[in-house]
Amino acid sequence: MRLRSAEKAAGADAPSVGRLLSAVQLHDYDALLFDLDGTLVDTMPLHHRAYAEVFAARGAELSLVDYMASVGAPARAAIPLMAQAAGMLPATPEEVLAIHRAKKIAFTQILRTSAPQALAASRLIEAAGERKLALVSSGNRDGVMAILETMGWTAVFGAVVSGDDVVNGKPDPEPYLKAAAMLGVVPARCLVLEDAEAGLASGRAAGMSVIDVTQFS
């Protein structure tokens, strides 16, 4: 068993799981490369809550709609967009770093009492059999590892690539190419599972097959 408990994936409804498993021809691939937020788990409400707390402390209000508009981009690119949407003056590099650090602390605190919901794609962790698995997220490494620990997935992935581990984030192919290299698998034998266009574009640019998991939700 790759999952710590079956309950962790209980939120993935049976019809969505069935359609996704039917669509994925596992025998065509040596590795499955997963995005995290919005693909394996629904952490978006928790991330928004953390950012909203940080912006509120600065006298600004960040709506869920404005937060979602920045999803998929690395924090260094997303935070200025969120700040602008929240009515703040253009964020300086120092302010971006300060917001990023404060959000990491807030998110970790939230995870102590609120576990994210597992999504349909999480069932592929078990269905993958002996195929290699990688996690490729635009999130910061501390936040990614905190989620993996909460879900019981710290020993599941042979490679974990976060936004902190690359120079060029999604939609650049660097994150997925780095993960494939870490696994020792050629890109053409990798399947990427993503929920955002930036991630799908990253996988395609890396020469990998991609599946948009939102088609099965």
The catalytic position among 13, 35, 66, 164 is 35
Distance, in Å, from the CA atom of 29 to the CA atom of 211, rounded to the nearest integer, reads 13
For 41, the token pair is 């788990």
Q: Which residue type does 79 have? A: I
Distance, in Å, from the CA atom of 71 to the CA atom of 46, rounded to the nearest integer, reads 13
Among 47, 35, 16, smallest CA distance to 192 is for 35
Distance, in Å, from the CA atom of 82 to the CA atom of 60, rounded to the nearest integer, reads 10
Q: Quick check: 13 and 70 in contact, CB under 8 A? A: no
**Where do we find the tokens 């990491």?**
104
For 186, the token pair is 């050629």
| Secondary structure (DSSP) of 75-86 | HHHHHHHHHHHT
The catalytic position among 37, 66, 165, 195 is 37
Angle between helices 174-183 and 197-205 (to 10 degrees): 60
To the query of whether residue 37 is one of the catalytic residues in this protein, the response is yes
Write out the catalytic residue numbers: 35, 37
